[in-house]
Amino acid sequence: MSSPFLSVENLSKSFGGVQAVSQVSFELEENKVLGVIGPNGAGKTTLINLLTGFVRPDTGKVLFKGQNLAGLRPYKIANLGVARTFQMVKPFYQLPAFKNLVLPLRSPRARHLIGGRYGDLDAVAKDLLEEVGFERDSWVIYKHASVLPHGYLKRLELARCIALSPELIVLDELFSGLSLAEVASLVPVIDKLKVQGKTIIMVEHRLRELFRIADQVVVMNFGQKIADGKPKEVMEQQSVREAYLGSEEEEGGDA
């Protein structure tokens, strides 16, 4: 019986007096999409930071293919095959989109898997951009990232992630700030990643779009995991409803 692809065990982190993440555990099988949802402040972004090495956990383990990622530095984790996007997009604004991809393409992992000498990287970068929805040979590839609309910046984030040829992709609110049409155009991209064998974790607020693609959903509230299972089952749980909508006792005054 081989160990699960990703196994999070009793992960906890507190900042000063605030318990941001408390004893969170879950398992994820390979090539599945996991959604992480919960109200604001539930600890979702901290969870991602813990998984990807940007924050050191107080206790707990993050077992990725049997190896414990807890305590490793972000770049080591990235090179092991776990890539992430940021909720607040962080591109290099002074560089054109395809130049933005140069950095992940120069990582040890990408160099090992994709190869390519100095000149070839530009072509690889442009292919990657096309995969996430940048129109080939259009201005969006060549102008500085500072003039790109929000939708393209999000795609650029995703492209930077994919450039690492990761096995596990962690997306922090990829759909936030996007129109329905933009979200609809990104869903096929995520499907394609799944077809390619990748495993994906998505933190999202936009539940309808998420539930169409997620195989498994974990719900967090106040730093704890309150539900874990298939999307439909999870949404029927009382505790989840209360987390989002409040319980009947809380609804005072006019109904």
Partner 1 sequence: MLQGVLIYGFVNSVMLVLVAMGFNLTFGISGVANFAYGALYIMAGFTCWGLLNSLGLPYWLAAALSVAATALLAGLLFRFVLLRVRGLVISEVIATFGVGLAILELFRYFGFIGFEYTLPVWLDASFDVGETVVDAQRLLIVAVGALLTLFLWVFTRYTRTGRAFRGIAQDERTALTLGINADMVSAYAVAFGAGYAALAALVILPLGTIAVNEGYDVLVNALAVCIVGGLGSTVGVIVAGFLIGFAQVFTASYGETHWMMIVSLAALLIILLIKPSGLFGKQKELEERI
Partner 2 sequence: MAKRLERLDRGIKVRSDDIFALNSWREMLYIIAPRVLPVLLLLVVGVWASTYWQRVIMQVCMIGLLAISWDLLAAVGMVSLGQALFFGIGAYIAGVLNHYLGMSPWLTIPLATVGGAAVCTFLLLPVLRLRGIYFSMVTLILPLMIERIIEATKVFGGTEGLSGIESLPQGMTELIAAMVVVWIALFSFTRMMNSDYGLILKGINDNDRAVMSAGLNIYYYKAQALFLSSGVAAFAGAFITHAYQFVGMPVFALDYSILPIAAAAVGGMGTLAGPLLGCFILVPMNELLRGLGGMRTVIYALLLVVFTVGLPEGIFHYIKRKYTQFERWVEVDS
Interface with partner 2 (CB under 8 A): 52, 54, 73-76, 78-79, 83-84, 86, 90-92, 94-95, 99, 102-104, 106-110, 118, 121, 160, 163-164
231 binding partner (options partner 2, partner 1, none; Cβ < 5 to 8 Å by kind): none
Q: Tell me which of 67, 73, 113, 143 binds partner 1, using CB under 8 A.
A: 73
56 binds, among partner 2, partner 1, none (CB under 5 to 8 A by kind): partner 1
Give 118 or 252: the residue with its C-beta nearer to partner 2: 118
CA angle (175 as vertex; 231, 202 as ends), nearest 5:
45
Among 52-60, 100-108, 185-193, 243-251, the segment contacting partner 1 (CB under 8 A): 52-60
- What is the helix (H) or strand (E) element at residue 22, kind and residue range? strand 18-28
**Coil, strand, or helix at residue 235?**
helix
CB of 158 to partner 2, least distance (A): 13
Query: Using the rule CB under 8 A, which residue among 54, 92, 211, 222 binds partner 1?
Result: 54
| Residue 110 binds: one of partner 2, partner 1, none (C-beta under 5 to 8 A by kind) | partner 2
Q: Determine if 229 is a binding residue for partner 1 (CB under 8 A).
A: no
CB distance 67 to 80 below 8 Å: yes
Q: Alpha-carbon distance 163 to 65, whole Å? A: 21
Measured at the alpha carbon of residue 138, what is the angle toward residues 135 and 139, in degrees to the nearest 5? 130
Amino acid at 72: L
- The reply to whether 60 sits near partner 1 by the rule CB under 8 A is no
- Among 39, 41, 74, 229, which residue sits at the site for partner 1 (rule: CB under 8 A)? 74
150 Cβ partners below 8 Å, 6+ apart? 89, 177, 178
- Nearest approach, Cβ of residue 115 and partner 2 (Å): 14
- For residue 217, the cross-strand partners are 35, 229
Measured from the CB atom, the residue of 49 and 107 that comes closer to partner 1 is 49
Could you say whether residue 76 binds partner 1 (CB under 8 A)? no
**DSSP symbol at 73:** -
Nearest in space to 82 (alpha carbons), one of 109, 43, 46, 44: 109
Q: How far is the CB of 169 from partner 1 (least distance, A)?
A: 20
Q: Which is nearer to partner 2, 102 or 207 (CB)?
A: 102
Q: Which residues pair with 7 in a beta bridge?
A: 27, 63
Q: Number of helices (H) and strands (E), helices first, in the chain?
A: 12, 10
Give least dist CB 245 to partner 2, A: 35
Q: Is 40 exposed, middle or buried (0-12, 13-18, 19+ CB in 10 A)?
A: exposed
In this complex, which beta carbon is closest to partner 1, that of residue 2 or of residue 40? 40
C-alpha 121/C-alpha 226 separation (Å) is 44
**Residues found near partner 1 in the complex (CB under 8 A):** 49, 53-56, 73-74
